[in-house]
Structure 1
Amino acid sequence: MITDTSAIAAGATIAALQVQSLLDPLDNRILLCHALGLSRVGLITQSELALDQDQAARFAALVRRRLDGEPIAYIVGQREFFGLPFEVNGAVLIPRPDTELLVELALERLPPRGRVLDMGTGSGAIAVALAHTRRDAEVTALDVSADALAVARRNAAANQARVAFLQSDWYAALDGAPPFDVIVSNPPYIASGDRHLSEGDLRYEPAGALTDHADGLSALRIIIAGAAQRLKPRGWLLMEHGYDQSAAVRQLLTEQGYTDVQSWTDLAGIERVTGARTH
């Protein structure tokens, strides 16, 4: 068993480094592929390849970053979402599998040649997945962060997805825009002071995309308050939220006069997305 990254030295084989690792096997394999420029199949077919000094140093540096807590996605600069590759860096959240539920629900409700808005797009994962799947749709995505939008634009180009990007503090830049059939959002919803913000991968992700620095519902309130006037009649608003926020979000929607208010569960059985329709 490797007990220190200094033990990752020239002459070690790919096979040995997969057996003797400080990391989770999947993390270790991803970092080996990244350090050596190999595919997963390549690790198998070249398992007896011995690392040279540069390769060993490169791999050791990556392992150290992971041991220090840096997310795998930031180390390799990429994460898959909805079957597509997305560039990620410290300017954007790392896309989560749970958020694919939001995409699926939006796709089910988006009419032919429909218009959809993604609010707080970050890496562009939701908007790009929608535009890639529905080539007929008109997809608009906004974010207040110029750095995030730069990442999102690169992801749209890399995945050949047609998305119109706007720098906007929520609805501010949308005055005069035609109404949408569907509005989706995965906004900051972690309450200020939540212990999760100081644990795991979240320590490395942009705080402004994770927390509203309040009770976790302030961004959701803004989205709910402004969506009705920007949706077509019977249009859908769909929002991702925290594991314990579904009842509060349903109440906010009901109080604002939305209809068909409901929540949907993720793969873990947690109510992860709540939505409703306009009149």
Structure 2
Amino acid sequence: MNAEALPETVNKRELSLEILKNHNVSAAEIEELLRLAGPDDARLYRLTIRKRFGEPNAYLRGHTRFFGREFRLDRRCYIPDDYTRELAERVIRDAPPGGRILEVGTGCGWLSISLKCERPDLKVAACDIDPNALCLARENAMRHGADMTFHESFFVDDVAIAEPEFVVASLPYGGDADYSARELEEREQMPPIAICDSEGVVAPLVGLVASIQNRQWRSRIYLETGYLDKWRLDPAISSCSRCEHVRNGDFGYIVIEP
């Protein structure tokens, strides 16, 4: 039977569950789809077909949470990772009163908006190369009443702001981790520019540091580095005067002085 064209007598809920199990969708993901659909079997079937084509639950859900706030999420942006919270908490602790912060590669805006909401005294700006992502970030900022500015820019090259004390970024990196089949399938659903750079594992990090140095900024840089060991970060930090690498299990970040 063609799963996309069904006679009215077919039980869509039963068929949806069968399709999800046949495609090795985890029990936790199935449970979330059931919650999203509620009693609406037609919606469950639509979600199931989207899932069969590899769409991540985060896009099906349409939102994510960070620091207790809900942020709209869709295919205009990369699906952010929860472990970025440790980096955000460090920035919140370190930022001076009234300090200026720029987030690069903001995506849905959840990091920079959270910084502004947690520290209203900060002057926060965010940039991204993708205007579609910036539209989404602006929507989320408006939703949370975050008074901040957004800029379309290649790294920091085109940002028309005064030199910030801190530059913060969670950029695409890697591409050579031990990804599961599901992760590889879902990555194809995200914006290509938000995944991995074809020029190399740490190319975006190298590019950001170079962009900051070209502006002759002395901003302290906070970069999420995930699973990357410090030796792999050498191309990005070799020209910097100081580097602190913090690693907590599979999560890591660096703080560098250009």
Range class of TM-score, shorter chain: 0.7 to 0.9
Matches of 1:34 and 1:87, distance apart in 2: 15
Q: Which residue of 2 aligns with 1:172?
A: 157
Q: Which residue of 1 aligns with 2:51?
A: 66
**1:240 pairs with 2:208:** no
**1:276 pairs with 2:256:** yes
Q: Which residue of 1 aligns with 2:135?
A: 150
Contact 2:13 2:45 in 1 (8 A): no
The 3 A distance-change label for structure 1 pair 69 and 167 is: same
**3-state SS of paired residue (1:199):** helix
The 3 A distance-change label for structure 1 pair 262 and 8 is: farther
Matches of 1:148 and 1:212, distance apart in 2: 18
The 3 A distance-change label for structure 1 pair 97 and 194 is: closer
Amino acid at match of 1:264: V
Larger Rg: 1
Q: 201, 223, 227: which is aligned to 2:208?
A: 223
Q: After the TM superposition, which of the residue ranges 162-171 and 145-154 deviates more from structure 2?
A: 162-171
Q: Which residue of 2 aligns with 1:34?
A: 36
The 3 A distance-change label for structure 1 pair 225 and 8 is: farther
The 3 A distance-change label for structure 1 pair 70 and 8 is: farther
Deviation at 1:213, TM superposition (A): 1.3
Q: Which residue of 2 aligns with 1:130?
A: 115
Unaligned 5+ runs, structure 2: none
Q: TM-score, normalised by structure 1?
A: 0.77
* Count of residue pairs brought into register by the alignment: 244
Deviation at 1:195, TM superposition (A): 7.8
The 3 A distance-change label for structure 1 pair 210 and 184 is: same
Q: Which residue of 2 aligns with 1:103?
A: 88
Contact 2:202 2:235 in 1 (8 A): no
Q: Which residue of 2 aligns with 1:39?
A: none
**3-state SS of paired residue (1:243):** coil
Q: TM-score, normalised by structure 2?
A: 0.82
Deviation at 1:194, TM superposition (A): 7.3
Amino acid at match of 1:79: T
**1:263 pairs with 2:245:** yes
Unaligned 5+ runs, structure 1: 37-50
Amino acid at match of 2:31: R
Q: Deviations over 1:163-215 (max 9, x none)?
A: 2100111122225x322111111112134x87849714212111211112111
Matches of 2:64 and 2:200, distance apart in 1: 29
**3-state SS of paired residue (1:166):** strand
Amino acid at match of 1:147: N
Q: Which residue of 1 aligns with 2:170?
A: 186
**3-state SS of paired residue (2:156):** helix
Contact 1:250 1:262 in 2 (8 A): no
**1:207 pairs with 2:187:** no
Question: Structure 1 vs Structure 2: percent identity of aligned residues?
Answer: 24
Contact 2:12 2:45 in 1 (8 A): no
Q: Deviations over 1:104-142 (max 9, x none)?
A: 121121111111010011111111111111111110000
4+ residue stretches of structure 1 with deviation over 4 A? 4-8, 193-198, 228-232
| Aligned-CA RMSD value | 2.9
**3-state SS of paired residue (1:170):** coil
